[in-house]
Amino acid sequence: MTVALRRRMFQYGVVVPFAIVLAFPFAWMAVTSLKPEGQVYEQSKTWTFSPTLENYGYLLHHTGYMRWIRNSCLVGLAVVLITLAIALPAGYALARLAGRVGRSLGVGIFLTYLVPPTLLFLPLSRVVSELHLGDRLWSLILVYPSFTVPFAIWLLMGFFKSIPQELEDAALIDGCSRLGALVRIVFPISAPGILTVVIFTFSLVVNEFVYAITFITSSANRTLTVGVPTDLIRGDLYNWPGIMAAILIPSIPMALVYNAFLNRFITGFTGGAFR
Amino acid sequence: MAAVAVPGGRRRRLRYATERRGVLAALLISPAVLFIGLLVGAPLVLAVYLSFTDATAGSLTGPWIGFENFRHELRDPIFVDAIWHTFLFTAISQAVVIVCAGLLAHALVHAFPGRWILRFFILLPWAAPIALTAIGFLWFYDTQASIFTWFLVKLHLVSATNHPTWLGTPTAAMSSIITVQAWRTIPFATVIFLAGIASIPQEVDDAAAIDGATGLRKFWHVSLPLQLPIALVAILFGIVFTATDMVVPYILTAGGPFNSTQVLTTWAFQTGINSGNVGEGAAIALFMLPLLAFVTIAMLFFARRAEVT
């Protein structure tokens, strides 16, 4: 057997079973979401049933789902803007200007990303209520940058380090100021990297759960991750097909975007310092 | 004249200042440091302070009671068990993740037909919000209509009348949440492993090939040592994000049945938010600090090692 064939067999032999196991829950979600709600518990109809879209209609028109999506997107956009405003200059300075001190500081900032929400949510919940931000989206917009900023700085450091120094030097020799070189040369070249940071920051925000369930108490202000587990229950009954639809709708596009930007994510992640 | 010249001079001085590396760097970095200090540092200090008080919901302060919260927790069997559960939950799920992610990353690194779509399937559990997919598993583990039970019955591994209740007994519940945690962590760990493989220069690969190293031997003597630093980073990440996260146990079992899946984070949430004992909840959460400190030191160590290679 040739080496190439052996490698192919190894690749498919590993990847295909893993893909099936890892993606199966989503396939079963899709099946359940198309089932009439009354049939989900019928053993005889596990795979054979007449598919319906009524669960999607119910979800979109008769629950707070669209509102939760809107809330998540609002918070996501606001946090992305705040994060970029803080992380872009810091990431650049740590990568290019600060030298050895910058390297240590960069690792230090990255380590704050490891301080978990589960350690900070109790004191922050007190702070949020002292500021009269309880049950308002502003509480999330204020607190979420605490983990998106370190994460974004880390990725941006990686991207900025991968830009050739000569480009900036040339701009400086041509009479550009350092800030001018940053805005006119470095940021445009880093656009794909910055877009990667925007995407992963946004998804960190949409995925967040601990702060959202602690700070937000009313249905109208819930975000996606908190609204679905708390509000899609009719009486005592879980509306399973509707819930499955609610999970699939954001998951599929997010996975598509992750897949498209994966290589860039890897570049930024390893460029930071672990190389 | 002088009144006009002064602002101009100041602007010029400001321009000169931003041309100096150190000044500009400090200027660009300080907002981030300030922000992180305010939103991570200050709450951390506040958490430590709260843990020494009797603070309850609705107040930011409370009577100082010294180590009473810690003493009380260490005497509480639920808390002591929660530490053990946290360890089990983390150690088992991450051991599974390392093996799977290592294999997957090596299979995914070189292009092959169909890789894009297969990688999409593999990334799904990481890209989808875990709070939502965890509810999905609540349905997959349903006592009456579990799809896992359906498969086991069809395979004649269990009988239709006497099948496991996935979240109903302590052992089954623990295994179930560990499975979900491993499932959701595998893609991210795979990506970090991929990053580790990608960071190996092509020349090293070529040199190994010229020297006749192939397959397992090349993996063991060339690839593995070079990937070790970043693989360890992936492992440390997995440990932190598993030991300090509460979404999976909170949604699937809420610590039950009989506190058999209570981990540090769910117990801190229940004590601090649901029961309103903020001080005690903070004390429980602070037991994560030794782990975080250990991981921090390890990360710093490996980050330095990785730089050298």
What whole-number distance in Å separates Cα of residue A152 and Cα of residue A145? 10
Which domain covers residue A85, as residue numbers? 63-271
A251–B contact, CB cutoff 8 A: yes
Q: In the predicted model, what is the mean pLDDT of residues A161-187? A: 83
What whole-number distance in Å separates Cα of residue A224 and Cα of residue A212? 9
What whole-number distance in Å separates Cα of residue A125 and Cα of residue B227? 41
* Residue B150: φ, ψ to 5°: -55, -45
Residue to substitute from A119, A125, A173, A211, interface B, most B β-carbons within 10 A: A119
> Out of A14-18, A45-49, A63-67, B12-16, which region has the weakest mean confidence (pLDDT)?
B12-16
Tokens of B78: 């639920």
CA distances from A94 to A157, A159, A168, A264, B57 (A): 7, 12, 16, 20, 40
CA distances from B248 to A247, B180, B262 (A): 15, 7, 11
- What is the structure's pLDDT at A97? 81
Q: In the predicted model, what is the mean pLDDT of residues A89-109? A: 83
Confidence category of residue A210, pLDDT binned at 50, 70, 90: very high
CB contact under 8 Å between B186 and A18, yes or no, is: yes
CB contact under 8 Å between A262 and B191, yes or no, is: yes
pLDDT of chain B along its 309 residues, tens only? 344 444 556 666 666 666 677 788 888 899 999 999 999 999 999 999 989 988 887 666 778 888 888 998 899 999 999 999 999 999 999 999 999 998 999 899 888 899 999 999 999 999 999 999 999 999 999 888 888 888 888 888 888 777 788 998 999 999 999 999 999 999 999 998 888 887 777 777 777 777 777 667 777 777 777 777 777 878 888 899 999 989 999 999 988 788 999 999 999 999 988 888 888 999 999 999 888 888 888 877 776 665 543
A257–B contact, CB cutoff 8 A: yes
Contacts of B208 (CB under 8 A, 6+ apart): B218, B221, B222
- What is the structure's pLDDT at A259? 92
* Domains and their CATH numbers in chain B: 1-51 (no CATH), 69-308 (1.10.3720.10)
Report whether B39 contacts A145 (CB < 8 A).
Answer: yes
Collapsed DSSP state (helix, strand, coil) of residue B290: helix
CATH number of the structural domain spanning residue A109: 1.10.3720.10
User: In this structure, is residue A8 part of a structural domain?
Assistant: no
* Residues facing residue A237 across a β-bridge: A234
Q: Which residue has the higher pLDDT, B45 or A49?
A: B45
User: In this structure, is residue A139 part of a structural domain?
Assistant: yes
Size of interface A-B (CB pairs under 8 A): 295
Which amino acid, A115?
A: V
User: In this structure, is residue A46 part of a structural domain?
Assistant: no
User: In this structure, is residue A51 part of a structural domain?
Assistant: no
B32–A contact, CB cutoff 8 A: yes
From the list A40, A127, A209, the residue facing B247 with the nearest CB is A209
Which chain B residues are closer than 8 Å to A142 by Cβ? Answer: 39
Q: In the predicted model, what is the mean pLDDT of residues A106-119? A: 86
Report whether B82 contacts B263 (CB < 8 A).
Answer: yes
User: In this structure, is residue A52 part of a structural domain?
Assistant: no
User: In this structure, is residue A258 part of a structural domain?
Assistant: yes
Tell me which DSSP letter residue B259 carries: T
In terms of Cβ atoms closer than 10 Å to its own Cβ (0-12, 13-18, 19+), residue B84 is exposed
Q: What is the largest CA-CA distance in chain B?
A: 97
B201–A contact, CB cutoff 8 A: no
Tokens of A138: 């502003």
Contacts of B270 (CB under 8 A, 6+ apart): B255, B262
User: In this structure, is residue A160 part of a structural domain?
Assistant: yes
H-helix or E-strand spanning residue A238: strand A237-238
User: What is the total count of domains within chain A?
Assistant: 1
Q: In the predicted model, what is the mean pLDDT of residues A102-111? A: 82
User: In this structure, is residue A39 part of a structural domain?
Assistant: no
Contacts of A207 (CB under 8 A, 6+ apart): A225, B129, B130, B131
CB contact under 8 Å between A11 and B103, yes or no, is: no
Tell me which DSSP letter residue B309 carries: -
